[in-house]
Amino acid sequence: MMKNRDNRTDMFLEKLKEDSAEYRNLETGGWGMEEKKAAIRSLMNIRMPGRETQELLQIQDAYLKEELAAKGIVTLSGIPTVDMQYGNRAPFAGKISLWQGDITRLKAGAIVNAANSQMLGCFVPCHKCIDNAIHSAAGMQLRAECGHIMEEKKMRYGRQYEEPVGRAVLTKAYNLPCEYVIHTVGPVVYGGLTDSHRRALRSCYENVLKCCVEHDIRSVAFCCISTGEFHFPNEEAARIAVQAVTDFLEAQGEALERVVFNVFKNCDLEIYRELLVSADA
Work out whether strand 96-100 and strand 258-263 pair parallel, antiparallel, or are unpaired: parallel
**Is 0.75 surpassed by the pTM of this model?**
yes
Please state the separation of Cα 269 from the chain's center in Å: 18
How far is residue 115's CA from residue 180's CA, in Å, rounded to a whole number?
A: 15
Secondary structure of residue 277 in the 3-state scheme: coil
For the beta carbon of residue 162, count every other beta carbon within 10 angstroms.
Answer: 14
How far is residue 260's CA from residue 103's CA, in Å, rounded to a whole number?
A: 10
How far is residue 150's CA from residue 50's CA, in Å, rounded to a whole number?
A: 13
| Residue 2 pLDDT > 80 | no
Contacts of 69 (CB under 8 A, 6+ apart): none
The pLDDT score that the predictor gives to residue 253 is 82
- In this prediction, what percent of the chain has a pLDDT beyond 90? 87
How far is residue 221's CA from residue 111's CA, in Å, rounded to a whole number?
A: 5
pLDDT interval class at 4 (50, 70, 90): low
The conformational region for residue 184 under phi > 0 = left, psi -120 to 50 = alpha, else beta, is beta
Query: Dihedral, CA atoms, 182, 225, 200, 165, nearest 10 degrees?
Result: -50
The pLDDT score that the predictor gives to residue 88 is 79
The pLDDT score that the predictor gives to residue 92 is 86
How far is residue 229's CA from residue 129's CA, in Å, rounded to a whole number?
A: 7
pLDDT in tens, 24-80: 999 998 899 999 999 999 999 999 998 889 999 999 999 999 999 999 999 999 999
Residue 151 to residues 47, 70, 238: CA-CA distances in angstroms?
A: 17, 35, 33
**CA angle at 242 for the pair 236 and 247, rounded to the nearest 5°:** 125
Which phi and psi angles does 201 have, rounded to 5°?
A: -65, -40
**DSSP annotation of 253:** G
